[in-house]
Structure 1
Amino acid sequence: MEIIRGNEIIKYIDELGYFRIEIFKDFPYLYQGNMEYENKYLSRYSNSSESILIVLKDQEKLVGVCTGIPLKDEDKEFIQPFQTDNIDEIFYIGEVMVREGYRGQGIGTKLLSTMLNLVDQSKFKTVCFYTVDREDNHPLQPPNYKSPESLWNRLGFFKDPVKIVYYPWQDINSTNETEKPMNVWIKQL
């Protein structure tokens, strides 16, 4: 496992972008990504001195990644649910991704626990992340899909029943971006 911070993340931007496109094309995100967007989105991680990237590889191939950044350095859509809070004390976990074939082996737990330990040693008092809210009977939900919500609950996160984010992206099988509702998960440190 490798922990990369701040502007050192720039050397992983392309690899991370391709990994995000691969992982997020699956349910529930169904994301039709492109590297132009990925480079723009991920540049905020290399531009933030407090960002964190945790990488787990099997030989040279990425098998798991966790990203995090102070919420104040994120898009306004992600900041919006916390407008009345002190955003300088909130850390945003952007992704916890594990390659298919490596899931169910505790890698996601290890990545997220490592990130939480790193954040807990800093000035942040709250950690948050967002998940897309797809309907229960979505036609592209695989029959064997297992939500990671039990992991998040086990690690002390709760889904805020009031806060919600709307963020646009292009779904696979679509030609236009549409806004998706995203649940806000919170953990107090």
Structure 2
Amino acid sequence: MLEYVVHTGDDIAPVLPDVARLRIEVFREWPWLYDGEQAQEEKALAGYCACDSSIVVTARADGNVVGAATGLRMDHADKGYSEAFALTELPQDQTFYLAESVLLPEHRGQGAGHAFFALRERHALALGLRWAVFCSVIRPDDHPLKPEGARSLDRFWLGRGYRPLLGVSAEFRWKDIDDRARSPKPMQFWIRDLGAG
């Protein structure tokens, strides 16, 4: 059985190397296909330490960190997300951005996905925020690296009350595992009204 630990404030920094490690391992999978490096990941995650709205949730098995999920208020998020989200009429200071949610394959199917969302949503509500959003990477159905039998998470997200924010997307550049250079990737925003219950 997985144990979940919520980290905020000064408790965040010690677990960021684990979050970075998990990002590199899990995001190599479909649909991210991300080729990351530990030092680069830790640098990118460092901003969570300087933000009072940040949360990191870790999932542990036998004391080892096997999964993690993060989040922070949208106006504290990476500019690539916050600037794209600014195209909506929703206030960023009332919106919580759910960032990475990563779990090693052997620990899936035990409810971690729901726990990661629920704990971050509870944190957002404790901050007095109204909306929760996240981004999913968009890949073509005929992508050559799409594994046979790959399943979309859309049903899971819809079941948790999220819906695509039509016409609102971000774009990020990273190097795929089969590429030599970074290329742009479109990201679809999803949103939930936390005030709707």
Query: Shift of the alpha carbon at 1:58?
Result: 0.5
Query: Shift of the alpha carbon at 1:182?
Result: 0.4
Residue 173 of structure 2 is aligned to residue 173 of structure 1: no
Once superposed, which parts of structure 1, at least 4 consecutive aligned residues long, lie more than 3 Å away? Answer: none
Aligned to 2:152: 147
Query: Shift of the alpha carbon at 1:157?
Result: 0.4
Matched letter for residue 24 of structure 2: I
Residue 10 of structure 2 is aligned to residue 7 of structure 1: yes
Matched letter for residue 81 of structure 1: A
Aligned to 2:21: 18
- CA displacement, residues 38-80 of structure 1 (integer Å, 9 cap, x when unaligned): 1221001111111001111101322221111111111211012
Query: Shift of the alpha carbon at 1:143?
Result: 1.1
Query: Where does 1:1-189 land on structure 2 (aligned, <5 Å)?
Result: 1-83=4-86, 84-189=89-194
Query: Shift of the alpha carbon at 1:148?
Result: 1.6
Contact 1:72 1:88 in 2 (8 A): yes
**Aligned equivalents of 1:170 and 1:6: distance in 2?**
31
Query: Shift of the alpha carbon at 1:101?
Result: 1.5
**Aligned equivalents of 1:99 and 1:177: distance in 2?**
25
Contact 1:7 1:49 in 2 (8 A): no
Instruction: Report the number of matched residues.
Output: 189
Aligned-pair identity in percent equals 28
Contact 1:7 1:45 in 2 (8 A): no
**Aligned equivalents of 1:139 and 1:104: distance in 2?**
27
How does the TM-score come out when normalised to structure 1? Answer: 0.95
SS in structure 2 opposite 1:32?
A: coil
Contact 2:132 2:192 in 1 (8 A): yes
Structure 2: any 5+ residue segments left out of the alignment?
none
| Two-structure CA RMSD over aligned residues (Å) | 1.3
